[in-house]
Structure 1
Amino acid sequence: MSDKILIVDDEVEIADLIEVYLTNENFTVYKFYSAKEALECINTTVLDVAILDIMLPEIDGFTLCQKIRSKYTYPIIMLTAKDEEMDKITGLTLGADDYITKPFRPLELVARVKSQLRRYKKYNPAHSEDEETGTLTHSGLVMKLKTYECFLNEKPIILTPTEFSILRILLENKGQVISAEELFHRIWKDEYYSKSNNTITVHIRHLWEKMNDTLNKPKYIKTIWGVGYKIEG
């Protein structure tokens, strides 16, 4: 069964182009030119990845991202019309997993979709064929790798695939400082990182919020300024 990809973009030519490239990769594509049109599909179809343009009529991509993230954990890739850092940060803060700036190379977008799918399938027990049975623990924090569940003081924490991956890497390397660049490459396995990339920073902030942690006195994820992040061993 092919993976199901949602495309929402009011620029018809771009939406159609993305559809062609994804269809050529044997994905099943659900294409819409407005968020209102897409909502019924989102609520009735089991999707694997959503690609959302930010500048949509009536309901923008940020709002649609929030609606999806309130119910589902599948990856969301935001399309930004211009290279504005605030758009990217806002999308990531609302639960998006990745972003790509227009104009983009269609093959780059396909690569991003495949990268997100790899992690989503590994993270989601319904898709996973992973045989890992390990459990990572630290000061009341428990990560179950086989079922991709996370608990803090016995209470479940709902993490996106990206958040789960970051926390797992830090727990597996307790006591070591992992740079944002290394985290980015280990998660996305591509070369799209730049020093101005705030993707990891925003996801770390999300983890702090979900774990009731603070930047000034973190109990779990500590920032080593100018170097990276770590969880004390």
Structure 2
Amino acid sequence: MSDTAKVLVVDDEDRIRRLIKMYLERENFEIEEADNGQTALELALQNDYDAIILDIMMPEMDGIEVCQELRKEKNTPVLMLTAKGEESNRVQGFEIGADDYIVKPFSPREVVLRVKAILRRVSELKLVEADMSSKNIIAFPHLTIDLDAYRVTTHGKEVSLTPKEYELLCFLAQSPDKVYKREDLLKEVWHYEFFGDLRTVDTHIKRLREKLMSVSEDAAKMIVTVWGVGYKLEVDDE
């Protein structure tokens, strides 16, 4: 992870932005701020941030809308800030592409650890995958994952995924036809830094299927639900 990772902090409360900024700058992050959703979206589209810390409840445009619009153009990792009791908003956030969330009130140190965890997973993912495979390409009849290029294609067309969606797909692809419980996927893909519930896995699987379906129905059908157990990536022999 670079010592000069750039993070956009978005919250309509000055106190919260200052607090997060102070703690992240201590860790050598470069911080930019926005106090409303519209400004945040403009900055996020104009700049290449390593991560975005995004409050849900904001004026002009809420965090859900910002993340939804951002995902149409970019896959920048997004860490949502949510108030207690906003569980439905958190689930909705995952459905439209958020990578993690923290519930207010929070420890600033936890925010730092979560941001570091997200950036570490993104920066180290290719190295981890290379260790797990003697080849840097995982190829199936309807799906190809280029681990060096961080690129997923199906029938020659590229599929744009968020870092977490990509990591989930790669994990399933490394052991095709193996069924994973949702609990196992939470542990292996989200790691110990993430404290979520099983719906986190469901929403990411749903998003992953939708993105594959937009390019190839064959590829989307590879993500199989094993009812009462979990999920697998099913490969047909051709």
TM-score by length of 2: 0.85
1:23-51 CA deviation, whole Å, 9 max, x = no partner? Answer: 11111111222223334432432211001
Match of 2:189 among 187, 190, 198: 187
Question: Counterpart of 2:199?
Answer: 198
Does residue 174 (structure 1) correspond to residue 176 (structure 2)? The answer is: yes
Q: Give the aligned partner of residue 68 of structure 1.
A: 70
Distance in 1 (CA, whole Å) between partners of 2:106 and 2:204 is: 23
Deviation at 1:130?
7.7
Bigger proportion of residues as helix:
2
Deviation at 1:180, TM superposition (A): 1.9
Q: What is the aligned partner in structure 1 of residue 22 from structure 2?
A: 20
- Partner SS for 1:198: helix
TM-score, with length taken from structure 1: 0.87
SS in 1 for 2:179: coil
1:159 to 1:131, Cα distance in 2 relative to 1, 3 A: closer
Number of aligned positions between the proteins:
225
Structure 2: segments with no counterpart, 5+ residues: 215-219
Is contact 2:100–2:194 with CA below 8 Å preserved after alignment? no
Give the drift of 1:149: 0.7
Match of 2:111 among 100, 109, 112: 109
**8 Å Cα contact 2:9/2:54 also seen in 1:** yes
Write the deviation string for residues 31-73 of structure 1: whole angstroms up to 9, x where unpaired.
Answer: 2222233344324322110011010011111121123222211
Distance 2:128 2:224 in 1: 29
Structure-2 separation of matches of 1:141 and 1:151 = 6
In 1, distance between residues paired with 2:110 and 2:68? 25
In the TM superposition, what is the alpha-carbon distance from 1:6 to its structure 2 partner?
Answer: 0.5
Deviates more, 1:170-179 or 1:31-40: 31-40
Per-residue displacement from partner, 1:173-213 (whole Å, max 9, x unpaired)?
Answer: 1121112222222223215445x442111010011111229
Q: Counterpart in 2 of 1:143?
A: 145
Residue equivalent to 2:100: 98
One-letter identity of the residue aligned with 2:228: G
- Which shows bigger deviation, 58-67 or 179-188? 179-188
Moved more, 80-89 or 33-42: 33-42
Q: Call closer, same or farther: CA 1:228–1:131 in 2, change over 3 Å.
A: closer
Corresponding residue for residue 217 of structure 2: none
| Contact 2:186-2:198 within 8 A present in 1 as well | no
Does the 8 Å contact 2:68/2:97 carry over to 1? Answer: yes
Distance 2:48 2:194 in 1: 29
Q: What residue in structure 1 maps to residue 222 of structure 2?
A: 220
- Percent identity among equivalent residues? 40
